[in-house]
Every structure is written in C-alpha cells, then in structure tokens.
Structure 1
Amino acid sequence: MSLPELPASDQSVIHVHHQGQNTGPFTGPEIVAKLNSGELDSNDPFWFPGMQNWVPLAQHPEVTKHYGGGAPAAGSPPPPVPQAAPAASAGVPQNEDDRLDALFGTLIKKSWNYLDEQNFATQIDEIFLGAVITSTLDAGYNLIDLTSDGTHHYLRFENFEDGSRTIFRLNHLTGDQVYAKVLGQKANVVLGYGEKVGNISKVLSALKAELKSSFILNPEPGSIVVDGDLTSGYVYCQVDMFWSLDDIISRDYSIDYSKLADWIRASNHALRKYLRGRFM
C-alpha cells in the first residue's frame, strides 16, 4: 500500500490512536520526537488527510527513516482501526470535516487576536502613564502633582536635592484600534524642565511675548518654549514631541524602562542646557 508523503512540517494535521485514545493533531517532526521519547509507539495507528485508512506509524517510510525504534515485529496482529477519531459529521466526508474544523479554529483564533488588540489599544494609555512615573522616579525625582482631564495627564516632579523640576503633559493619540493599526501607538508628550531663578519678575517681563499658559502646545516638534511661574519662582523650558509607544511597550505589556528613562534623561539634559544658557 502506497502512503502519501507526510504533510509539511508546519501543518498539525496528523492524528494518532494511542492507548485507546485519539491524540493530536501533530506535525511530522512532533510525531518523530514523541516516538523517540516513548510518548508514542510504532504500532500506534495514525491518519492524516489524504490517507484512506489508519495504519501503524512504523509503516510510513518517512517515519521509520528518522525513528530509531524500527518496524513492528513480524507476524504481529494488525492494529485495530479506531472508529471514533477523527469523527466526521453525518453526511460530511472526512477530509471536509477536518477542513471545516480547522476553519472554525482559525475564526476563533482571529477573534481572540482582535480582542487582544482592542484591549491593548484601550489599556496602553494607563500603562504609559505608569511607565513615565516609574522611570522619572528612578531618575531621582519625586512626584508632587498628578491630574487628568480625561484626555491629558499632567505630572510634576521635583528633585528634592537640587530643587529642579520635571513636568509632563501626556496625550495618547491612538486609542482607537483602527488608527493604531495604521499609525502604531503614538503619544503627544510635552516635557518641561524647570529651576528657580533669583528674579522671576525680570524673567517674566522678558518672556511676556512668549508667555501664554503653563503648558503651550507647539505644533513644531523640537521647538523650545520658555515659561515662568510667578507663584513658585520657577522658569521652565518645554518641548513638544511625539513618541512611538511601540518602541517601549511590547504587546505582552512588558516595558523597556531603560529606554524610556533615557528619553527623559536626554530631554532634561537638553532643556537644562538651554535654560541655564539663557537665564543663569
């Protein structure tokens, strides 16, 4: 009896009847591995689409070529043909039954993938917020203020040793799954670095043409805006950026804190140099 070639190594379609139970489906390499490990026996009947009947594993030349256990002993009775697996629905050919089962499994898998993508798109905003807080705390700053308006998150941190401050306005831009699919996960980040100055009134007078609000959304990324707070005596340099969250947050929700901390450190470094070069 001529047997068809084993399916491609990435196709899990081989069924095996082992110790009274139907197991699988497996790939060809999985079958050989399980034979060599003793999980399957060379006398176990097997079947995959394209075969007319169940036959012992040892009768297939591709299996015996790689399996060290050899063929069944001469004169041994033929193994029973399993009656229950894989069972086809009434009136549906065996091959078509397998195809429909596989198609149904694909539909379920894609549904779960869609749900995972939807959950990721809606949860990444809070994950990003937590990651920024953790990375800034690790950089030696202390969180002194946190507010949200439903769209933006506003954060203020202070280094109690030198009195410097870091401020953020975070806005996750791609919470919708469709936009996220096209653009990736993006966030608008306004990051500011601030220090106290001796004569804040003089600084504010010099900045009155620039001063509009405590957070100024600049449409040109990389442009630095200088702002001052008369109440606290702090002058801030702020920069508007767009960050790719895919670079720091994986689909399994793991976070590259080291990379995020480096982004924050580099931004603070540049803003500090600008602030001190202009006012100190």
Structure 2
Amino acid sequence: MAAAIIGGLLNKNYSPALIRVIESDSKKRLVIENKFKVSSMAEFKKIDKDEIIVLAVKPQQAESLLKSISTEISEQLILSIAAGIQIESIGKWARGHKNIVRSMPNVCAQIQLGITALFTKEVLDTKTKLAVEEIVSAIGEFIWLDDESKMDAVTAISGSGPAYIFYFLNAFIESAIELGLSRNEAEKLCGKTLLGSSHLALDQLNDLQNLILSVASKGGTTEEGLKQLESYKLNEMLLKATRAAYEKSKKIGLEFN
C-alpha cells in the first residue's frame, strides 16, 4: 500500500525529493530507491513539524514502531493506514500525540482506482486537510467518516470487497467455460461484462433495480438466471459474508488496541 501511495503521488507529478521512506530491511529499501527514485533510510530521524508521517505498517508492528519514534515527533500529522489500529492507541503509543488521521484504503489503490475512508478526532486546518486529501486522492477517491467505529464496516465493505468481486468473477469465468467457451473467450467476455456493468451502475446507483429490469425482460433468459440467484438467497449470503468480515475486524481491533 505504501508503494501504491508513492507511485500514485509520482504519477500526479509530486516531486520525488518531497518523499522519504523509512525501511529497516536493506533489500526492500534498495527496491524502493530503484523503483521510485526517492530517498530512504533505515531509521527514523527528526523531521520538520509541517511534514506528514504516513504510518504504513502491519498492525502488529504499530505499537513498537510508534514507541520507538515517539521522542522524535511533535506536531507532525500522522496519517495511519495500519489496519484496525485506533486513533486512541496511536496517540497513547506516541506519548500523547494528538494530530492523527486514520485511514482505510483498498487494494484498488494499486491502479489509482481505490477508495479510502478517513477519520480524525481533531479539527484539521485547511492546509493540513488538503494535504491529507492530496495524498489519498493519489490512489483514488476518498470519504470522511463522522465516527471511527464505522471503520470496521469500511473494512468489511471496501477493504474486503475487492476479494468478493474477484471471487464472483472467477466463478463467472468458470461457469462460462462449463458452457463451452474457451478460457480466453470466457475471460474476455466476463471481464468486460463486469467492467462495463460497473461503469453503468456508477451512473445509476440510486436506481439499480430499474437497471436490473432493463436487462431482465419478462420471460427471458436473464429473468430465468436471476430466479436461480434469488433461490439461493444471494443477498443473505452476501450479508453473512460482510457481517463475518465486520466482526473479524472488530476482533482484530480489540487484539491490537
């Protein structure tokens, strides 16, 4: 995810000179330097108060890292993408630090088509808020949440959601092959069907039922297929899947916070 953010910023003509990476692994550090032409270092050092720290670590690494750099930070904004780690915990581990924004991007950030949820307990000044939005907009779109507890729902929907889509697409392709199409034919037809349908749906998100009806003619093939999906209660299965991911997110949050 860190690489996606760096790549997104550079694609938006952000100067490599304005980005510094702290990476303790020398091999990973060399890969980052060669790929993005940004400076990197093995250890965190004091930085200017108007710089932004992007906390891009796994949740189990957050506590030890923040404690190790707590004496080196003061007024800087911490933008955390550490999954499940609450603002209260970040502040506690960073010796009472207050200037924190928590975020949850998703894997589509790799192609700058992600969606990132943001939350902060502080009132950000206009300059700082715009800076945060500039960073996350480099990997797609963003929304601000009004309650941190919604992050668990975000994790279950947009965080885990791409995997549900990939799962569906894979099953769709396998179904096409079962009906006699070659893998190349199935991948092309199913992939483009999903892509085109997604674009069409985005224009009419408040009228999806009519979109369904526009394809499902009375007594036609689509109607027959939809009857099968309804008989297997696809809506209920999706609700169970997202609910399970939501509860798991809450559980992980309790473990690490």
- For normalisation by structure 2, the TM-score amounts to 0.25
Which structure has the highest helix share of the two?
2
Q: Which has the higher strand share?
A: 1
Higher relative contact order (CA 8 A, sep 6+): 2
Instruction: Please say which structure displays the higher CA radius of gyration.
Output: 1
TM-score, normalised to structure 1's length?
Answer: 0.23
